């Protein structure tokens, strides 16, 4: 039985369908003028450290892990990423979200994580944290909620807990306690931060757990969203057992509008449009087009370093434009994540069929 049995109903937040008229018009103008389309900065992903407490068999980054340990100093993040963004109208125009994440690395292990989140609040930059939750303590929960509150306006922040990692390492009960505390603080402060819980749909993991009970517990404590995700290659080459496909479909139905299913990742594209609205920065300071390629293994796609230049000097510089214009010629096999795959598919369709 294949993973195709499971139907995707996941809302991709960064794919604002209303915005596609904007993307179409930028593409149109760029074709007329024979220049690269300039969309504007929407996402800045920072991997502040190379450390992680876990070694998950399904970790997407496990093949890309850097052997050398590294951390990006707070002064580089502040002076070469955050300050240049808030001081530059063009970079701020699309209200970029700052995402603290990692590839086989855990952002909350960053030695200056409290200070970094305080800076995001101080600069009123909305942010997201993708974490396994193990290092989350009461004080850090308060710091995250307090700074989400500082952002103001209608913008929401996100925290996404990798539940699968804690299940695999027998730490699920501990994580649940931490999530409950986080929810308590968030609700008390009325902090605008959404709690997402991704769970991998994978045979070995599912065989270990009582998923209906986990879903029931999570919905009972009122998390905002549970997302079942089909893992990326090579794990998704293994077919999902029919009993699990049926179980997930039933849980989606039972869970109502708080439970979603997200499908597998996509193939390589001839052009990368994501590279024109997203920037990803690894713990060495190197700059890449997206979260999936944020590793030295993809150095052919890197177009700068925030240890040498400010983000305002790197974004849309000659190397960045060359990356967009010559993407098809770069020998580098990358696979988009789910949201980026949709974005690239739709923009490629416009590029080939609609734009005159």
Q: What residues make contact with ligand SF4 under the rule CB under 6 A?
A: 52, 54-56, 59, 61, 102, 104-106, 132, 162, 165, 269, 272, 274-275, 289-290, 292-293, 301, 334-336, 340, 344
Task: Specify the residue, 160 or 255, whose C-beta has the smaller distance to ligand SF4.
Answer: 160
Give the shortest CB-291-to-ligand SF4 separation in angstroms.
8
Task: Specify the residue, 59 or 191, whose C-beta has the smaller distance to ligand SF4.
Answer: 59
Task: Specify the residue, 131 or 215, whose C-beta has the smaller distance to ligand SF4.
Answer: 131
Give the shortest CB-79-to-ligand SF4 separation in angstroms.
27
Task: Specify the residue, 76 or 327, whose C-beta has the smaller distance to ligand SF4.
Answer: 327
Give the shortest CB-103-to-ligand SF4 separation in angstroms.
7
307 vs 323: CA distance, rounded Å: 20
297 vs 300: CA distance, rounded Å: 8
Task: Specify the residue, 119 or 165, whose C-beta has the smaller distance to ligand SF4.
Answer: 165
Give the shortest CB-334-to-ligand SF4 separation in angstroms.
3
Terminal-to-terminal C-alpha distance of the chain: 43
Give the shortest CB-16-to-ligand SF4 separation in angstroms.
17
Give the shortest CB-163-to-ligand SF4 separation in angstroms.
10
Task: Specify the residue, 229 or 292, whose C-beta has the smaller distance to ligand SF4.
Answer: 292
């Amino acid at each position: 039985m294949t993973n195709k049995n499971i139907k995707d109903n996941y809302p991709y937040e960064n794919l604002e369908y209303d915005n596609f008229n904007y993307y179409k018009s930028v593409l149109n103008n760029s074709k007329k003028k024979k220049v690269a389309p300039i969309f504007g900065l929407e996402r800045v992903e920072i991997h502040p450290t190379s450390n992680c407490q876990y070694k998950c068999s399904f970790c997407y980054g496990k093949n890309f892990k850097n052997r050398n340990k590294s951390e990006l100093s707070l002064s580089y993040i502040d002076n070469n990423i955050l300050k240049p963004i808030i001081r530059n109208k063009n970079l701020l125009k699309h209200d970029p979200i700052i995402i603290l994440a990692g590839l086989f690395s855990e952002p909350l292990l960053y030695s200056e994580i409290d200070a970094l989140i305080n800076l995001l609040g101080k600069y009123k930059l909305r942010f997201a944290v993708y974490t396994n939750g193990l290092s989350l303590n009461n004080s850090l929960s308060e710091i995250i909620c307090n700074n989400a509150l500082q952002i103001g306006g209608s913008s929401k922040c996100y925290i996404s807990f990798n539940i699968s990692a804690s299940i695999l390492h027998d730490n699920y009960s501990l994580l649940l306690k931490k999530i409950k505390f986080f929810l308590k603080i968030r609700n008390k402060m009325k902090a605008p931060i959404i709690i997402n819980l991704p769970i991998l749909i994978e045979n070995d993991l599912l065989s270990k757990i009582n998923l209906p009970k986990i879903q029931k517990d999570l919905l009972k404590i009122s998390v905002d969203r549970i997302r079942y995700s089909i893992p990326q290659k090579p794990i998704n080459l293994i077919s999902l057992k029919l009993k699990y496909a049926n179980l997930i479909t039933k849980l989606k139905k039972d869970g109502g509008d708080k439970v979603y299913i997200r499908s597998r990742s996509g193939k390589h594209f001839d052009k990368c449009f994501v590279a024109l609205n997203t920037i990803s920065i690894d713990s060495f300071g190197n700059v890449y087009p997206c979260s999936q390629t944020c590793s030295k293994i993809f150095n052919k796609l890197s177009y700068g370093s925030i240890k040498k230049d400010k983000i305002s000097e790197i974004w849309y510089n000659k190397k960045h434009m060359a990356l967009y214009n010559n993407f098809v010629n770069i020998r580098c096999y990358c696979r988009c994540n789910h949201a980026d795959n949709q974005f690239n598919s739709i923009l490629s369709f416009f590029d080939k069929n609609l734009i005159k």
